[in-house]
Amino acid sequence: MSKIGVIGAGTMGQGIAQAFAAAGNQVTVCDIKIEWAQNGINKIGAKLDKLVSRGKIAEDAANSIKANLTAGESDYSGLADVDFVVEAVLEQVKVKQDLFKTLDGICKDSTIFCSNTSSLSITEIANGVKHEVIGMHFFNPADRMKLIEVIRGGATKDETVQAVKELSEQIGKTPVEVNEAPGFVVNRILVPMINEGVFVLQEGVASAKDIDTAMKLGANHPMGPLELGDLIGLDIVLDVMDVLYNETGDSKYRACTLLRKMVRAGKLGRKTGEGFYKYN
């Protein structure tokens, strides 16, 4: 079992903390304020209570997951002896770099710093950081999705890759090793497909519902591209397209204008109540 620090108690941080705690690791969760970290832990607890009441998980198991979660002070003083830190804070290079530089002065020398970034360069995040830095890219919902993309930065050592692959397996996930590249593997393939679905809609080829039905029944996808875009968040879909386009300069990654218009109109999908579909 390892001691883990999870920084950022939002959507991803909660799922990541839960995944580590469920596998018996001791997890300290930090955020900008300790109350926010505690709030994230409370949300994990509420989710577990719901699973217990539906008979999906035993009460003992839920209690031991809860017992493995602690809220840490926002000065990260509780992370001095953790083996791994996984950050899931704002998707900005400077924020992640500054965080890791602060942790350089707090964590023991052997601590491995992992970033859950969906699109940023690990090499750039690691620039000026003394500890080993690597990408550990979870998928949403992180407590349930099985894949972890383990991303090497320019200076990542082989033994660091190995340690993070073993950690991924210890929590019941399947790691795939990925070299640094825009969008890594999953987002490089998945997000342009969603963008293409939006082009098909914009060109009037078919209705949103028929595009989704076509891909579900014709390609055996569990969700159609437009409903999946609504679930991920259309702002995130647009961000990934822009990263792919800006990093490569390749026009095949240009974002569909309808996607950009919807984001500008605040129609971001499920989280705002409207995207390609309406939600209550």
Ligand X SMILES: NC(=O)c1ccc[n+]([C@@H]2O[C@H](COP(=O)([O-])OP(=O)(O)OC[C@H]3O[C@@H](n4cnc5c(N)ncnc54)[C@H](O)[C@@H]3O)[C@@H](O)[C@H]2O)c1
Residues with catalytic roles: 118, 137, 149, 187
Binding mask 126-145 for ligand X (x = CB under 6 A): ------------x-x-----
Check the annotation: does 246 bind a ligand: no
Asked if 19 is part of the footprint of ligand X (rule: CB under 6 A), the reply reads: no
Check the annotation: does 9 bind a ligand: yes
Check the annotation: does 118 bind a ligand: yes
Nearer to ligand X, 38 or 248 (CB): 38
Q: Which residue has the tokens 């875009």?
A: 229
The closest of 140, 128, 134 to 180, measured between CA atoms, is 134
The closest of 256, 217, 262, 196 to 235, measured between CA atoms, is 262
Query: Closest separation between CB of residue 90 and ligand X, Å?
Result: 4
Nearer to ligand X, 53 or 246 (CB): 246
Check the annotation: does 11 bind a ligand: yes
Asked if 13 is part of the footprint of ligand X (rule: CB under 6 A), the reply reads: yes
Q: Which residue has the tokens 């596998």?
A: 23
Instruction: Provide the greatest CA pair distance for the chain.
Output: 58
Nearer to ligand X, 127 or 140 (CB): 140
* Pair type for strands 69-71 and 26-30: parallel
Closest residue to ligand X: CB criterion = 10
Check the annotation: does 21 bind a ligand: no
Q: Are the C-beta atoms of residues 132 and 104 closer than 8 Å to each other?
A: no
From candidates 67, 80, 90, 205, binder to ligand X by CB under 6 A: 90
**Segment 60-89, which members bind ligand X (CB under 6 A)?**
88-89
Q: Are the C-beta atoms of residues 3 and 167 closer than 8 Å to each other?
A: no
Displacement of CA 253 from its chain's centroid (Å): 22
Asked if 11 is part of the footprint of ligand X (rule: CB under 6 A), the reply reads: yes
Q: Are the C-beta atoms of residues 118 and 137 closer than 8 Å to each other?
A: yes
Q: Are the C-beta atoms of residues 140 and 15 closer than 8 Å to each other?
A: yes
**Segment 214-273, which members bind ligand X (CB under 6 A)?**
none
**Segment 108-127, which members bind ligand X (CB under 6 A)?**
116-118
Asked if 104 is part of the footprint of ligand X (rule: CB under 6 A), the reply reads: no
The closest of 15, 47, 17 to 29, measured between CA atoms, is 17
Check the annotation: does 98 bind a ligand: no
- Report how many residues bind ligand X under the rule CB under 6 A: 21
For residue 15, CA distances in Å to 11, 129, 173 come to 7, 26, 13
Distance between terminal CA atoms of the chain? 42
Nearer to ligand X, 120 or 211 (CB): 120
Binding mask 21-60 for ligand X (x = CB under 6 A): ----------xx---x------------------------
Query: Closest separation between CB of residue 207 and ligand X, Å?
Result: 27
Check the annotation: does 207 bind a ligand: no
Distance, CA of 126 to CA of 154 (rounded, Å):
9
Tokens of 17: 């903390």
Tokens of 57: 């998980």
Q: Where is the binding site for NAD(+), in residues?
A: 8-13, 31, 91, 96, 118, 140, 271
For ligand X, the binding residues (CB under 6 A) are 7-13, 31-32, 36, 88-91, 95, 99, 116-118, 138, 140
